[in-house]
Chains A and B, each alone.
Chain A
Amino acid sequence: MSFSNPAAFLWALLAVPVVIFYILKIRMRRIPVSTVMFWEQVYDEKQPRSVWQKLRHVASLLLQLLFLGLLVAAVADPFFDSDVREQRRVVVVLDTSASMQARSEDGNTCLAAAKTQIRRMVRALKPQDEMALIVAGGRPQVVCGLTGHQRTLHVHLDEAASTDGPTRVVEAVELGRRLLTDARNEQIVVISDGRFAGAAELAAEDQVVWSQVGASAANVGITRFQVRRSLLDPITYQILIEVGNFSDESVECSLDLRLGGKLLDVMPLKLGAGEIRADVLEETSVGGGVISAQIQREDELAADNSARAILPQRLKIPVTLVTAGNWFLQRVLEANDVVELTLVDEVPQNLPPGGILVLDQVLPEQIPQGNVFVVQPMAATDLWDVDGALAQPLVDKQDRSSDLMRHIRLDNILMPEARKLTPKVDFTALAESISGDPLYLQIPRTSGDVLVLSVNLDQGDLPLRTAFPIMLTNALSWFAEGKGELIPAVACGDSTDRRLSAGLQQAAAEHNNQLVLTAPDQSQRNIQVLDGHCTIGPLQQTGIWKLTADAGDDHIPNEELSAASAPALRIACNVADPQESDLRMPEAIKARQKLLSAGFGGRPIWFYLVIAAFLLTMIEWLLFQRRWVS
C-alpha cells in the first residue's frame, strides 16, 4: 500500500494535544457538598463490577487517538499498488438523441436512466481510474475529457441535456477510440436505447461495452415538414407534411396547421400500423410567417409531434411599365398580386430600389440601369441592333434549363412577326428561331440584367396563351433573384449554409462579421459571416432559430419575419427523422461485458477510513453518554 500524500502524517502530531487535553480533562470538577456519606452509600451499592467500567476512561483516550489516526491516514490518501498497475480508462458514450427523450413506465426518460447508470459507474471508479464522457446526440462531442475527478464527471453528466437530433453513436465511438491509446484496461461504454442502425454490430465490437436503456413505446411523429411558394402562382404555397405511425396498432388523431398562430387547417389522420403518410397541401397567402404543425395526440416523444417551417413572404415588386398602350401586358402585370404597377409614357430617370422597368416598344438609345424587361424592341439601343423583322418565326430552340423558361413551351405558339435582333454584347438566348435569331434573350449586366422579348404581341396568340403570364412571372421572379421562394426547414442535427440578405450582411459588417444565433431555448452564440454566407449548425433543438445582428433582437416574434425593424433570418428545425420517431425497441442487444464495477465497495480507501472514524466518534459518544445516563 502507498500513500498519495505522505506529508499528511505530520497531522499525527495532533496526538500530543489530544493527550494533554485528556490529562487535563481527568482533573475532575471539584464540587463541595455537605457530606459524602449519602454518596458513599450509593456507590457502596453500585460498585463498578466490570473491568470495562474501570477502564472506560482509558478506552476513551485510545478511541480518540485511533480516531485521529484514521483521519490522518485518510488525508494521506492510501491506495493499493494494484490500483496503479490496473488503472482503467473508460470512455462513456451517452446517446442524447431525440429518441432518448422517450419516457418509460416509471415516468423517467431513457436519458435519465442512462445517467443513473453512468453515475453508478462514476462512483465505481477507483482512485487511479479515468473516465471521459462523450455525448452522441447530433454531433458527437467530448463534454469531459479523461479525468479521475468524480465531481467533475458528475457536473458534466448533469449538464448533458437531451437533444432533438439524430443518433450519432457510431461516430461517437470512433471519437472515443481516439481518446484511448492502449487496449489494455480500456473500455468504451455505450449507453443508448439502441434505436439506430448498426447497434448490434457496434455492441459486438471489442473494447465496446454495451448497455441498453429504455423500453418499447408507440409513437406518432412528423417525419417531414417543408413549405415552399408555388412555382405557378405567386401567392400560393405548398406544404409537404409526412406523418408516421410507429406503432403496431392503427391510430386516429388530428393535425393542426397554423400560420403565424392562426389556424389554417385541421387534418384528420388515420394511420395504420407502421404507416407513413405524406400529403401536399396548397394554401394561399401573400404574407409569410411560421407555419407550424401539431399532432393532437400525446405520446412518449413530444419533440416530433410538432414541426415548423418558414413561409417566405411575397414582397411587392415595383414595376414601371412604359408603353403607349398594351392591354395584354398591362392586364397580366396587374393580375399579378406581387406586382405594384406604375404606368408611364416616358422612360423614368430613376427606378425604385428593386424595381423592374418594362419597356413596351418605347426605347431610349441607352437602356437604363437596373432590371429591364423589353417587349417588342422597335429600335436599336446600346445593347443591340435591329435588322428589320422576322416573318413567321418558328421557335426551334428553347433553354429548358433556365428558370426563365420554366413551365413554358413556345414551339406551338403562333408568332407572325418578331424583330430581328443582333446583340452587341454577350447574351443568352432563351428561345431561338429556326434561323438562329434570338426571340427571347437574356443580357447580363453588372448594373442590372435585361430580358428582351422580340415577338410582336399585337400579332399572334402569345398574349392569349398561359405561357405569357408564366413567362412574365418567371421574369419577375428571376429579377427578384428568387428571393422568398423557399427557406427549407432543417432536420435536427444538420447544419445549413445560408446566404444572408443585404440587410443582415450590412449588420454583420457592422459587428465584426459576426451575428448572433438564438436557439429556441433562448441560448445564444456568435456565428461568423464569410462572403455573405454563414454556416449554422448542427442545430440540436427543434424550433425556430434566429440569426440577428444584436443579442437583443431575439425578441422579434417569429411571426414578424419581414415586418421586423431589424434584419433577421429564421431557420426552422424539426426532428424529421423516422429513426428517432420510431420508439419501438429493437431486439435487445446482449452485452458481452459487464459494466464498470468497482473493487472493494467502489470507494477509495480514505472513504472507509473516514467512515471508521465516524463510527469511532459514535462509540465515544456512546461512552460519554453512558457516563451520564447509564
Chain B
Amino acid sequence: MALFDNDFLTRLEYLSIVSRKVFRGQLMAQRRTKQLGGGIEFADHRQYTPGDDFRYLDWNLYARHDELLLKRFQEEEDLHVYLLLDCSRSMSTGEPPKFDLARQVTAALAYIALADLDRISVYAFANGVLNHFPLTRGKARILSLMQFLESLDADGGATDMAQFAEEFVIRAPRRGLALVLSDLYDPAGYRVGLDVLRHHKYEPHIVQFHHSAEANPKMLGDVELQDVENGDFRKLTVTESHLRSYRDVFQAFLTSVTEYCSAYGIGCTITDTNVTFDQLVLGMMRAAGTK
C-alpha cells in the first residue's frame, strides 16, 4: 500500500477543511510575524534618523511637540513553515514504522499550510541535512512534496540534532515555524539542537514519535540488543526488574521533553504509532486551540 494513496488524499482534504473551519489561524498560517515593516497596522514610534522616508514621519506629533518621530507599522508577510523530518535509522523501527507516520503527518501539515497560503519547506535530517524540499507555496505543490517525501528513506545514520540545527539555520535564513518531527533519540541530547533553533528566533514545535515496543518492551532473558543507528551491540540479561526500570527511564525521557517544551513555550506533541495521521493532526490543532 502506497504511503500517500487516494484514501490518504481524501482524509487530507477533509482535514484541511476542518482546520479552516474550526482552527483557522490558530496553528500556523495567517499569523502576523513579529517583524516590523511596511504593513498598515500601527505598531509604535521611533526617533527619526537621517535618511528615513519622510512619508512615515508623524507630522501631527511634530506639530504638537516639535519632535520628529517616525511611525512604525506591523509588517505583514507570509509565514514560513519548516518541516524538519528525522530520517535517522531509529525512525525505521516499529510496526508500522515511525517514519511512515512522520511522513504522513509532514504531508498533512504541509497541505494545511499550503492551503493557508503559507510557505513551506521540508528538511530531511539525521546527523545533518540529508535532503530538502525548497520553500514553496500553493496547494498545487502538494503532489511534488509527496513525491519528495516518498523518495526519502530512514537510513540517514545516527541522530545529531545539534549538527543539523547548525546547518539548518544557515540554509534557511528566514525565520518561521520549525516543526521537528523526530523520535528525539539523540545520544548527545535533543536540547542542544532545539536551543540553536530557539536562539535563531525560530519557533520550534516538537512532534515526538515512538512505538509501543519502545515504551513497553517485552523481551526477557539473555538478549543482544543492536542499536540500529550506530550498529552498537549490547549484551544484556533482561529481567522483569530491568523492564520496570526501562519503563521508568523512558517515561522520564518523555517527561523531560514535555518539561523542556513547557519551559520555553514550545509546542509539543508526543505520540506513539498506534494513531493515524489525521487523528494526530486534529489532536495537535485542538491542543493549539485550547492555549
Contact = CB atoms under 8 A, between A and B. Distances in A.
Interface stretch (A30-38, A262-270, A490-498): A30-38
Interface of B: 90, 93-94, 183, 185, 187, 210, 214, 217, 219-229, 232-237, 239-242, 245-246, 249-250, 253
For chain A, the bracket of interface size reads: 20 to 34
Given A31-B223, A46-B241, A38 B246 contact: yes
Nearest to B243: A42
B100 to A, nearest CB: 15
B230 to A, nearest CB: 9
The 9 closest A-B pairs by CB, nearest first: A34-B90, A35-B185, A28-B224, A42-B245, A36-B227, A28-B222, A629-B240, A34-B93, A30-B224
A272 B176 CA distance: 122
B228 A34 contact: yes
Interface in A11-33: 26, 28-33
Given A37-B187, A628-B221, 16 more contacts: A28-B224, A29-B219, A29-B221, A31-B225, A35-B90, A38-B249, A38-B250, A38-B253, A39-B234, A40-B234, A41-B249, A43-B234, A43-B242, A46-B242, A627-B221, A630-B241
A458 to B, nearest CB: 123
Interface of A: 26, 28-43, 45-46, 57, 626-630
A28 B249 contact: no
A567 B233 CA distance: 95
B187 A627 contact: no
B185 A34 contact: yes
Contacts of B246: 38-39, 42
A6 B237 CA distance: 41
B239 A45 contact: no
Among A26, A29, A36, A45, residue most surrounded by chain B Cβ atoms (within 10 Å): A36
Contact of A32 (B226, B235, B237, B245): B226
Contacts of A627: 220-222, 237, 239
A243 B114 CA distance: 119
A34 B226 CA distance: 8
A321 B46 CA distance: 172
Contacts of B226: 30-33
Most buried by B among A29, A39, A629: A39
B222 A26 contact: yes
B241 A34 contact: no
16 contacts: A28-B222, A30-B225, A31-B226, A33-B217, A34-B93, A34-B94, A36-B225, A37-B187, A38-B246, A42-B242, A42-B249, A43-B234, A45-B245, A46-B242, A626-B239, A628-B221
Given A40-B234, A627-B222, A35 B227 contact: yes
Given A33-B227, A34-B185, A43 B236 contact: yes
Contacts of A57: 222
B103 to A, nearest CB: 17
Contacts of B224: 28-31
Contacts of B217: 33
B3 to A, nearest CB: 20
B185 to A, nearest CB: 4
B223 A29 contact: yes
A628 B223 contact: no
Contact of B223 (A28, A38, A45): A28
Nearest to A30: B224
A35 B234 CA distance: 11
A26 B222 CA distance: 8
Contact of B235 (A28, A33, A34, A628): A28
Contacts of B183: 34
A628 B229 contact: no
Contacts of B234: 36, 39-40, 43
Contacts of B94: 34
Nearest to A42: B245
A37 B225 CA distance: 11
